[in-house]
Amino acid sequence: MRGKARKEDLFTIPNILCYIRILLVPIFVYLYLREEYLLSAAVIVSASLTDCVDGYIARHYNMITDWGKFIDPVADKLMQFAMLFVAVLKQPIFLIVIIEYLLKEIILLVIGLFIYHKGYNLNGAIIAGKVCSVVFDIVLIAFIFIPNLPKSLVYAGVTLVSVFLAIAFVAYLRAYMQLYREQVKHNK
């Protein structure tokens, strides 16, 4: 069941690290558009490390908050979308991934809000979502760091990311369906 967000939860160390990740998004885009590929890739790596650290601190020091459960994936999605945005500038084939990514996120957001409104929420990320994020980040960092890769590698990367996005989408749908079934069963 969900709890109420508390004002003091806004400024826990893990949540402050999420805010830093959000601030890194426009810095990354700016550096990439200035063709500072190495620096822009370093910003992404920094954001990824910050993501790992905030999760570790939250779990290890019992600083998990409802606000953190909300803001952490928002920070992740903003950086991922920024990565896709710059990738499509160099490789228009990434538009396929953008469409799939947006559909996945919008559908899961609507379903997640419905489940949340009913008083339930997933208890953290699903392993398929984490694996998808790692594959997504590795592939996109490669394209950002090396913007002129051969077309065959671009197509292979787009395919790989698309497959993992689909797997994560199905895994989250199944988890949401299970939560909903549990809710219906509990309310009988």
Residues in contact with 91: Cβ distance below 8 Å, sequence separation at least 6, in sequence order:
143, 154, 158
Domain boundaries, the chain: 7-187
At the top level of CATH, the class of 7-187 is mainly alpha
For each of the chain's 188 residues, which pLDDT tens digit applies?
A: 445 567 777 889 999 999 999 999 999 999 999 999 999 989 999 998 999 899 899 889 999 888 888 889 889 999 999 999 999 998 899 999 999 999 999 999 898 888 878 777 777 778 999 899 999 999 998 988 887 889 999 999 999 999 999 999 999 999 988 988 887 787 77
Quickly count: other Cβ atoms within 10 Å of residue 123's Cβ. Answer: 10
pLDDT of residue 20: 96
pLDDT of residue 4: 58
pLDDT of residue 8: 75
Reported residue count of the chain is 188
pLDDT of residue 1: 41
Distance CA 142, CA 160 (A): 13
